[in-house]
Amino acid sequence: MSAGKRARMVVLIPAGLVALLVLAATGYVVRNVTYSSWDTSRVTRAGLVEHQVGVDGSLLNYAEGPDNGPALLLIHGQLTDWRHWNRVLPELSKRYHVFAVDCYGHGRSAHVPEKYSAKALAADLRQFLTRVVGEPATVAGHSSGGLVAARLAADAPEQVRGVILEDPPFFSSVLPRAKKTFNHVGLATTAHEFLRSGEKDFTAFYIRHDAMWDLFKGAKDSIQRSALSARKKNPEEPLMLFYMPPSFNEMFRAMQSYDPRFGEAFYDNTFHQDFDHAETLARITVPTVLIHTNWSYNDNGILLAAMSGEDAQRVRSLLKDVEFFKVDSGHGFHFEHPDHFNRIVLDLEKRVRN
């Protein structure tokens, strides 16, 4: 081989690698900025349609799928809306009659602070099951939605066939214990301080003040500056950072419609009014699934999760008929691992039928 040919090969190989890297980076960016529209289009093709209904004088927004099986009620967690279930809805809607609600203070449902408690939300969802669903349903709740799902299952066993509790903050979210959790030092405190500030843009306030940014350590300042710049350019749109993954951007997708007074209910403990976690769990008689994601404490003893291992064990000990899943995932398990979540739902269906 001549020296000229060897030189050309040396040049071509790095050029090919660069092209592959550019292609991979482009795909990464495209995924980050289009994930929501892509997920939404799949849900639309699956036949889910949004509706509104008045429940005890308050507007409740929800999405309903085709009647392809038993009823399934999905209750999202704090700071998002029913579309947080988008990645599991296409498959679940093939086997269930899905109803995915916007909790009060989120999405297109009413902002009614007097109902920002597990007890009040469960009471209205019980009416929703009676008036709209019209048959007993399997209920799945994520995070704070898991607390509501547990209360609903305990209060209305005749209307709940089975219940899935996806990483719910049992015990950890109740004061005074809550002060040593990430939700309290982060979102709850940020919501509380925003309401006292007189400012109007919660997203911009969250970018500047929430403890979440401390997790980025040395990159914190640069990401905050980038986020604030993006927010200033498009204040009417959800924050979307092209270099951050969908799990990050999903935190901001529904923030436009979030009522910070919902976060305040965790700051001052009113979310747990007349809601004893242990007593509620002990009253659940239907088949139950408990999903626990990754957890840890930081150097300051703050729980960086919804529940610790000890909390999860206590929940299991109080439930009468529970299947437990410890999963290697962030808090949004159904968003990060939709296929695994769907298998868990279908496995519960077999237990319910038996």
pLDDT bin (cut points 50, 70, 90) of residue 32 is: confident
| Helix (H), strand (E) at residue 141 | strand 137-142
Handedness of CA 178, 201, 333, 75 (dihedral sign): positive
CA proximity to 86, closest of 97, 95, 98: 98
What pLDDT score was predicted for residue 24?
A: 63
* Distance spanning both ends of the chain, measured CA to CA: 73
* CB under 8 A, 24+ apart: contacts of 122-127: 122/148, 122/151, 122/152, 122/155, 122/156, 123/56, 123/155, 124/55, 124/56, 124/58, 124/60, 125/73, 125/75, 125/101, 125/152, 126/152, 126/155, 126/156, 126/159, 127/55, 127/56
| Number of alpha carbons in the 13 Å side-chain half-sphere of residue 281 | 24
What pLDDT score was predicted for residue 101?
A: 98
What pLDDT score was predicted for residue 354?
A: 86
pLDDT bin (cut points 50, 70, 90) of residue 29 is: confident
Tokens of 67: 């009647």
pLDDT bin (cut points 50, 70, 90) of residue 156 is: very high
185 vs 23, higher pLDDT: 185
For the segment 213-220, the average pLDDT, to the nearest whole number, is: 93
| Helix (H), strand (E) at residue 101 | strand 97-101
pLDDT at 6 over 50: no
Rg (alpha carbons) of the chain, rounded to whole number: 22
What does the pLDDT look like over 242-297, one tens digit per residue? 999 999 999 999 999 999 999 999 999 999 999 999 999 999 999 999 999 999 99
What pLDDT score was predicted for residue 20?
A: 57
pLDDT at 10 over 50: no
Evaluate whether 181 touches 158 at the Cβ level (below 8 Å): no
Tokens of 99: 């109803």
What does the pLDDT look like over 343-354, one tens digit per residue? 999 999 999 998
What is each CA distance from 195 to 11, 78, 331, in whole angstroms? 59, 17, 26
| Number of alpha carbons in the 13 Å side-chain half-sphere of residue 336 | 16
25-29, 220-224, 231-235, 258-262: range with lowest mean pLDDT? 25-29
pLDDT at 207 over 90: yes
Question: What CATH fold (topology level) applies to the domain 46-180+262-353?
Answer: Rossmann fold (3.40.50)
pLDDT bin (cut points 50, 70, 90) of residue 11 is: very low
Handedness of CA 168, 173, 179, 180 (dihedral sign): negative
| Helix (H), strand (E) at residue 131 | none
Give the C-alpha separation, 62 to 44, whole Å.
14
The domain segmentation of the chain, as residue ranges, is 1-45, 46-180+262-353
- Per the prediction, the chain carries an average pLDDT of 94
Evaluate whether 253 touches 33 at the Cβ level (below 8 Å): no
